[in-house]
Amino acid sequence: MGLRFRPVDTSFYDLLTESAQHLVTGASLLAEMLAEDADHDDVARRMREAEHNADETTHAIVKKVNSTFVTPFDREDIYALASGLDDVMDMMDEVVDMILLYEVRLLPAELSGQVEVLQRCAELTSAAMPNLRSMQSLEEYWIEVNRLENAGDKNHRRIIAKLFSGEFKTIEVLKLKDITESLEEAIDAFEKVANTVEQIAVKES
């Protein structure tokens, strides 16, 4: 909560980077939640905290956009980035919340693959944000996130097929399908951020 003492001259690039770093934290809490002996209540509590911190950063960006006369790139693009990053956090928070609320104890190992995709996306996004300043090396980032989203999509369909295979009780299928779909939406949300970055880069070039 040290955010309250944010120095006034923090740049848009710093704030967007900070926002993406919250996603690295969120993705790693998600990985913790999936571990076999996880303390669901404790991880969920820390996730709520991370989500709250992410919200503060989002508000700081919006406030800065509204109070700044000349922004480094289009106002609406900064909004789109900030809210895109915020959406990822919300999706990851939702997954953790579902695992807690639905009292799911046995998660199929395949879900870890999706969380690894999320962790990789979070690292790539957080490394890409500072590059918005120079508009350099962004192409590799958005290509790689699109590739990861494709892999995640294939993985997703296979997990659903497995859930439908008859191996699980139907009520468990319902719970796990919800969780699996929210994981995929989180990956999609990362792709949306990457697409926004691509559009900004194309405009600025």
Q: Which of residues 3-62 bind its own copies (CB under 8 A)?
A: none
**Cα gap 165→198, rounded to integer Å:** 39
Closest approach, Cβ 40 to its own copies, in A, equals: 13
Build a one-symbol-per-residue string for 156-185: x at contacts with its own copies by CB under 8 A, - elsewhere. Answer: -xx-xx--x-x---xx-xxx-xx-------
List, as one string, the DSSP characters of 20-45.
HHHHHHHHHHHHHHHSTT--HHHHHH
Closest approach, Cβ 99 to its own copies, in A, equals: 11
Closest approach, Cβ 189 to its own copies, in A, equals: 16
Closest approach, Cβ 142 to its own copies, in A, equals: 14
Query: To which residue do tokens 């295979």 refer?
Result: 165
Q: Residue 184: count other Cβ atoms within 10 Å of its Cβ.
A: 22
Q: Which of residues 98-117 bind its own copies (CB under 8 A)?
A: 98, 101-103
Asked whether position 143 contacts its own copies by CB under 8 A, the answer is no
Q: Are 24 and 123 in contact (CB under 8 A)?
A: yes
Which CA distances in Å does 161 have to 44, 113, 118, 179?
A: 28, 15, 21, 14
Give the footprint of its own copies on this chain (CB under 8 A): 66, 97-98, 101-103, 157-158, 160-161, 164, 166, 170-171, 173-175, 177-178, 202
